[in-house]
């Protein structure tokens, strides 16, 4: 990476090491802050917390989807959400068809703020990751032409890819620098600290892979698939099962039988579910695993209360390691 932000981070790291990562900014409506901080609106609290960590008390962050009872796929935004988007200085979305409501809010509110789209920072995004070929600050789209449509075969749940989130954080820092140049050193130092913490997550995942590479996992929905792959595990779930669960449809009987058959040879070591989607077929798979003494665990789509992105992912990784060792 040769962007100006990277150079700024490297040159300023020693001087900035004394800067603590700032605490969470308030979640009032964007632009309401009396201190005039940069107004950031994020589609979910995952991206809102990352923006808070990079911007500290220099930003005012609104996270539209912020708890586990709200499904971003089907979320119905309010007039308050539309007002927040209209007043934003920067908008962060997931993209890839995951949070289409944010695109509707941008269009209906006439918002002119730049938009950072998280999926475009994934190495798996068609055309390559956003950070590969130009300055990170150029990746905030201001023309509404961002990655809002689902791409067949692409897993849009990129917040479970720590490396993509490190690059997104650099993009957030670059865009905040463009909005508030006087605070560039703070944003750069916070981004560097975040990237260092992500490297710790990646080291933990590498430790799992060193011990369990090739172990089979049954993943009922693709939400944590990036994390599972980074841990060296093989996802053996039939695609038809995963697709049906993700779309909220019934799993075909033949697909369910094929899925249950995956447990017969004893190679499946773990079942992974999504806390925000549940159904009879998922319960049946978990029951099948329980009956065979196979551990199961659940991941969520939104940030649990009181957690940061880093602490949340570390807890997920530790739970994954513990389940595999059980």
Angstrom CA distances, 6 to 99, 128, 138, stand at: 29, 19, 14
Angstrom distance (rounded) from CA 259 to CA 80? 44
User: What pLDDT, on the 0 to 100 scale, is given for residue 74?
Assistant: 75
| The pLDDT of residue 16 | 31
Q: Set out the domains of the chain in order of their start, with CATH numbers.
A: 4-201 (3.40.50.1980), 213-325 (3.40.50.1980)
Looking at the DSSP assignment, which residues form a beta bridge with residue 92? 42, 116
- The confidence band for 72, taking pLDDT boundaries of 50, 70 and 90, is confident
pLDDT grade for 114, boundaries at 50, 70 and 90:
very high
Give the model confidence (pLDDT) of 9-55 as tens digits: 433 333 333 333 333 333 333 344 445 689 999 999 999 999 999 99
Rounded CA-CA distance 142/229 in Å is 33
d(CA 61, CA 84): 10
Q: Cα(243)–Cα(239) distance, rounded to whole angstroms?
A: 6
Residue labelled with tokens 């792959």: 229
Q: Under 8 Å CB-to-CB from 122, ≥6 apart: which residues?
A: 129, 158, 161, 164
């Amino acid at each position: 990476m040769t962007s100006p932000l990277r150079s700024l981070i490297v040159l300023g790291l020693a001087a900035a090491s004394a800067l603590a990562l700032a605490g969470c900014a308030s979640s009032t409506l964007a632009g309401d802050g009396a201190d005039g901080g940069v107004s950031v609106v994020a589609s979910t609290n995952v991206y809102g917390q990352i923006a808070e960590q990079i911007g500290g008390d220099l930003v005012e962050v609104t996270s539209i989807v912020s708890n586990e009872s709200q499904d971003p796929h089907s979320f119905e935004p309010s007039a308050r959400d539309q007002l927040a988007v209209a007043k934003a200085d920067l908008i962060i979305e997931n993209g890839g068809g995951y949070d289409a409501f944010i695109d509707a809010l941008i269009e209906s509110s006439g918002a002119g703020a730049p938009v950072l789209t998280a999926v475009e920072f994934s190495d798996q995004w068609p055309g390559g990751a956003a950070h590969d070929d130009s300055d990170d600050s150029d990746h905030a789209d201001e023309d509404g032409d961002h990655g809002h449509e689902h791409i067949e075969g692409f897993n849009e749940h990129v917040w479970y890819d720590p490396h993509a989130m490190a690059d997104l954080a650099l993009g957030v820092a670059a865009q905040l620098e463009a909005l508030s140049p006087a605070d560039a050193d703070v944003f750069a130092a916070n981004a560097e600290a975040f990237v260092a913490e992500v490297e710790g997550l990646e080291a933990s995942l590498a430790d799992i892979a060193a011990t369990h590479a090739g172990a089979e996992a049954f993943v009922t929905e693709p939400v944590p698939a990036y994390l599972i792959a980074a841990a060296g595990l093989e996802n053996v779930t039939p695609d038809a099962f995963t697709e049906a669960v993700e779309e909220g449809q019934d799993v075909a009987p033949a697909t369910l039988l094929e899925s249950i058959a995956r447990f017969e040879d004893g190679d499946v070591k773990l079942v992974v579910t999504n806390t925000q989607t549940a159904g009879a077929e998922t319960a049946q798979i978990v029951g099948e695993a329980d009956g065979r003494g196979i551990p199961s665990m659940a991941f969520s789509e939104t940030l649990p209360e009181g957690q940061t992105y880093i602490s949340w992912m570390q807890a997920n990784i530790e739970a994954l390691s513990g389940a595999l060792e059980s």
